[in-house]
Amino acid sequence: MSALTEVAKPAAAAPPAELTYREAINLALAEEMASDPSVVLLGEDVASSGGVFKTNEGLAERYPGRVINTPICENAFTGVALGMALVGMRPVVEIMFSDFLPTAGDQIVNQLPKYRFMSGGQCSVPVTIRSISGATGRFGTQHSATGESWFMGLPGLRVCVAASAGAAYDLLRTAIRTNDPVIFHEHRGLYARKGLVRRGGEPARIGRAAVVREGDDVTIVATLMMVERALGAAEILAREGISAEVIDLRWVRPLDVRTVAASVARTGRLAVVEEQVHAGGWGATLTSELTMAGARWRAAPRAVSLPADVCIPYSPPLEDLVLPSVQRIADAARDMVTA
C-alpha cells in the first residue's frame, strides 16, 4: 500500500464553520474515530477531562476504550503505538510538550520510520504523533520548544506544522489517514484562535505549502504561530507600499520547495520566520535548496528566528523579547526591499 493511500473515504462536505484551533483538532479526531474504528488516541491524561489542553473533550465518552491514558513514559507508549500499527490499528499519540519528543527518540528515529523499509514494504506504520508545540505560554525553557525541525532529516517520516484552525483540521485528517508515521505539530498559543474550517471533502495534500497572502516584492515563509505574525507584518508593509507574499509551509518533511521557488522567482527576496534557532532548521534547508536550484536573489535571504545561544526564558517580558515579533519580521522584509 502506498504511503499516500487514504484508508477512509472523505465525509460529505459540510458548510464552512468558524471554529477555534482547539475545536478544529477535536473535530478532526472525532470524525476520524467515527469513520475508522481502528483509530485510537493514547497519551498522558488524554482521557482525563478532555486532556490537559482540552483538545480531546468528549472523545473518551463517545468512543469508550479508544482514548487511553498512559504512564509518563513517552518511549514506552510510542512503542505501544508502533505495535498497534503493525497489527492494523491507526494510533494517535499525544506528546504533551514537544520538548519531550526526544524521550521517545528511539521509537521516532530508529523504529517508526524504518519498518516499511526493513520489511520490504510489507509493513506500514500509520502512527500520528500529536506534538504540542511552542512558546508564549510562560512554561519556561523545558516546555516551550516547537521541535519542528528536530526530525526533518529522517527518511520514512512526515513532519507537519499546523498554523490555523482550517489547516489543523485538514492536516490532522491527512496525518491519521497516511500509512507512514507523521509528527503533527500543533501550537498551543493558537488554541483559542478562530478560523474558517471546511468540513469533509478531500484531505490535504502531503508536502504542499499554502500561499495565504499574495505579493510581488518579498516572500515570507513561516510555520505555526509565526504565520499569523508574518501576516501581521505583511499588513504593516502594505501600508508602506510594499507587497509581501506569505507562505504557510505546512510540511517540514517533505518541504514544498517548488511553491516557494515560484514565489521567489517573482520577488527575488526571501525571509524565513521560525520559532526556533535558524541553524539546522527548515529555514536553513529551504534557503540552501533554493540556492542550489539556481534562485536569483535581489537581496540576500534573511532569517527571523530565535537567538542562537539563548534558551526560551520563563519571564514574560523576556520570552516576548526572544520570539520573532510582527515588527521584527516587517523590519527584515523592508530592509531587503529598500536595500
Give the angle subtended at the CA of 76 by the CAs of 71 and 78, to the nearest 5°: 105
Sorted by sequence, the CB contacts under 8 Å of residue 9 that are 6+ apart come out as: 35
Question: Is 74 considered catalytic here?
Answer: yes
Cβ neighbour number for residue 184 with a 10 Å cutoff: 27
* Domains 19-197 and 210-338 agree in fold: yes
Q: Which of 23, 32, 44, 143 is catalytic?
A: 143
Cβ neighbour number for residue 136 with a 10 Å cutoff: 17
- Answer yes or no: CATH 3.10.129.10 is held by domain 19-197: no
Q: Which of 275, 41, 248, 296 is nearest to 136 (CA)?
A: 275
Neighbouring-strand partners of residue 130: 94, 184
Global model pTM greater than 0.85: yes
Cβ neighbour number for residue 155 with a 10 Å cutoff: 9
Q: Which of 31, 32, 74, 245 is catalytic?
A: 74
Task: For the chain, give every domain's residue range.
Answer: 19-197, 210-338
Burial class (CB in 10 A: 0-12, 13-18, 19+), 261: middle
Cell numbers 531587503: residue: 336
Q: Which of 205, 200, 204, 206 is nearest to 10 (CA)?
A: 200
Q: How many helices (H) and strands (E) does the chain have?
A: 11, 14
Per-residue pLDDT of the chain (339 residues; tens, 9 = 90+): 333 333 344 455 678 899 999 999 999 999 999 999 999 999 999 999 999 999 999 999 999 999 999 999 999 999 999 999 999 999 999 999 999 999 999 999 999 999 999 999 999 999 999 999 999 999 999 999 999 999 999 999 999 999 999 999 999 999 999 999 999 999 999 999 999 999 987 889 999 999 999 999 999 999 999 999 999 999 999 999 999 999 999 999 999 999 999 999 999 999 999 999 999 999 999 999 999 999 999 999 999 999 999 999 999 999 999 999 999 999 999 999 998
Question: Is 143 considered catalytic here?
Answer: yes
Q: Which of 65, 46, 64 is nearest to 54 (CA)?
A: 46
The hierarchical CATH code for the domain 210-338 is: 3.40.50.920
- Are residues 299 and 336 in contact, defined by beta-carbon separation less than 8 angstroms? yes
